[in-house]
Amino acid sequence: MKTLKILSVSSLFALCLALMSQAAFAQNDAGAKIRGDAWNGGLVRTYQRHAQDRSQMLFYYSQSKEPLPKQEAKDLVAGIQKDLTEAEKALAKLKADHAKKPDVVKQIVLIEKHHARASEVCGMAAEQCAKEHVDHVMVCDCCADMWNELDAAQIETQKLLKMLKIDKLPIPKKATDKKVAADKKPDAKKADK
């Protein structure tokens, strides 16, 4: 009988330890969705959007009646270049991680081609912005080309993320939302009484 009690207590203790370790693992692994491929894929997508937004801003800024301030134009072009460079770094990591998967590498090469074309056009816009008299039409055309190349890159990136089975991350929620929801449940029971 004592052996049975000791055995059941030790079993209960082992079960508690197992549950606690699983809970601790779940808490430590909350970032699993954003590590590795998801992180790099997210970076590619984010930097593409940033570059595209900057090219759109430069496009409309170039169409204004006031002369395009050189420093602001240079800052926008430099930002586009930086975004493209960062997107390429993240793509390179994905390419290295999946070097033995030809379909993934092929998809990354397609994205890199769009980035290269956008970077080339961005260089042309940078040259225009450095001139004494900026050709606004040329800058607008460069911005339109950049935007379209980045749009195509984003479509190819979405295909890549689908290949890698990277789901879109859920919308972040405040930790207090859970607490508030938990606090409201007992209040609702009190209200029913």
* Higher-scoring residue by pLDDT: 26, 111: 111
Residue 88 lies in a domain: yes
Residue 4 lies in a domain: no
Residue 180 lies in a domain: no
Q: What integer is the mean pLDDT of 46-66?
A: 92
Query: In the prediction, which pLDDT does 91 show?
Result: 95
CA distance 143 to 62: 9
> What does the block give as tokens for 12?
């209960």
Total structural domains in the chain? 1
Residue 138 lies in a domain: yes
Contact 76, 57 (CB under 8 A): yes
pLDDT tens per residue, range 133-157: 888 899 999 999 999 999 999 999 9
Residue 21 lies in a domain: no
CATH label of the domain that carries residue 114? 1.20.120.660
Residue 183 lies in a domain: no
Query: In the prediction, which pLDDT does 107 show?
Result: 96
Structural domain of 161:
33-166
Amino acid occupying residue 142: C
Query: In the prediction, which pLDDT does 26 show?
Result: 39
